[in-house]
């Protein structure tokens, strides 16, 4: 598994946790028997997920972290493409990604 795929999965895992916590906070959890559409999210649920992901990305403290995460996961660019745009090395992009993902995890664990 490549590094990009690893971080993409990590971001999806973070997004899932964010969605779960939001639902829990709203007290709208429903058991699986009651909701046959649970495994087929509606358009509004998918939109809510995207909004929540962008909300948490925007809460990152560093602009470089925001740019790296947004470009890699939202715009589906490679680390090399992002590195060229930001005029930094691919290794630096990887480090910013790791740092941003750690920060996102910390935000979600509060």
Give the mean pLDDT of the chain: 78
Radius of gyration of the chain measured on its C-alpha atoms: 16
Both ends of the chain: CA-CA distance in Å? 30
Query: Quick check: pTM over 0.75?
Result: no
Q: How confident is the model at residue 6 (pLDDT cuts 50, 70, 90)?
A: confident
Tens digit of pLDDT for each residue in 32-70? Answer: 444 444 455 566 777 777 778 888 888 998 999 999 998
Domain ranges of the chain: 60-109
User: Between 22 and 96, where is the model more confident?
Assistant: 96
Higher pLDDT, 24 or 76: 76
């Amino acid at each position: 598994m490549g590094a990009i795929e690893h971080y993409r999965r990590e971001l999806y895992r973070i997004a899932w946790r964010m969605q779960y916590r939001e639902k829990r906070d709203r007290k709208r959890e429903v058991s699986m028997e009651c909701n046959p559409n649970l495994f087929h999210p509606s358009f509004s649920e998918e939109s809510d997920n995207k909004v929540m992901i962008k909300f948490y990305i925007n809460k990152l403290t560093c602009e470089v972290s925001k740019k790296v995460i947004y470009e890699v996961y939202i715009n589906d660019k490679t680390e090399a493409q992002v590195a060229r745009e930001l005029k930094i090395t691919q290794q630096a992009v990887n480090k910013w990604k790791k740092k941003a993902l750690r920060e996102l995890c910390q935000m979600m664990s509060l």
